[in-house]
Amino acid sequence: MAAILDALKGLEGESIQRVLDYVLGRLSLNRPARASLSPTVATSLPADPSKARQASIRDLKEEKQPESSNQMAALVAYYLSELAPDGERKDEISAADLEKYFKQAAFRLPRSPRMTLPNAAAAGYFDSAGAGRYRLNPVGYNLIVHGLPRNQETSKSTRRTRPESKSVKKKRARR
């Protein structure tokens, strides 16, 4: 491990990622999902691995800027499955997890925390794991990794409007 860290010393975030991607490709190894962090959440490799800073749920919320309880629920599930310290890591979440991590992230609690996960599942971010537990699905994962934060242009509605029919135009003209 020390030899690897010495070899990567002097490189920063994206350069380290490119080197690791190349090495994994040459060894025909699949890249683990948690290795694909955005540059602001991933920390560069320190000289001493014991001093690596763990990303917090609050840091992730600040970076991704979820706009709703459904998005925040997906963010909590992503954090717990990919970034949380080993003792906290889990693949399924419940309403109790949402309350705990919404508070840690300083995100507004929903009116009905027990309905947030079913609502987020209905929005397509989760699959039910039974007994009030939910698992982040690929749609929810992609929202967090690739869809957030939403910039001003993509957050505005891009809905097309239909051209007015002749009868609507006639009614408007009579007024």
Dig out the tokens for 55 from the structure.
């990303």
What domains are there in the chain, each with its CATH number? 2-44 (no CATH), 57-154 (1.10.10)
Name which of 71-75, 78-82, 83-87 the model is least confident about: 83-87
Nearest to 89 by CA among 36, 136, 31, 24: 136
What value does the mean pLDDT take over residues 77-102?
Answer: 96
Would you say 133 and 92 are in contact if contact means Cβ atoms under 8 Å apart?
yes
What value does the mean pLDDT take over residues 30-45?
Answer: 49
pLDDT reading at 107 higher than 80: yes
Q: Name the residue type at position 51.
A: K
pLDDT per residue as tens digits for the range 125-148: 999 999 999 999 999 999 999 999
What value does the mean pLDDT take over residues 104-111?
Answer: 96
The secondary structure of residue 68, as a DSSP letter, is S
pLDDT reading at 82 higher than 70: yes
Task: For residue 42, give the 3-state DSSP assignment.
Answer: coil
Name which of 72-76, 103-107, 130-134, 169-173 the model is least confident about: 169-173
pLDDT reading at 69 higher than 50: yes
What value does the mean pLDDT take over residues 41-56?
Answer: 52
The reported pLDDT for the residue numbered 43 is: 41
The reported pLDDT for the residue numbered 153 is: 57
- Looking at every residue in the chain, the average pLDDT score rounds to 81
Q: Which helix (H) or strand (E) holds 78?
A: helix 69-78
Going by C-beta distance under 8 Å and a sequence separation of 6 or more, which residues neighbour residue 49? 1, 5
Going by C-beta distance under 8 Å and a sequence separation of 6 or more, which residues neighbour residue 11? 19, 44
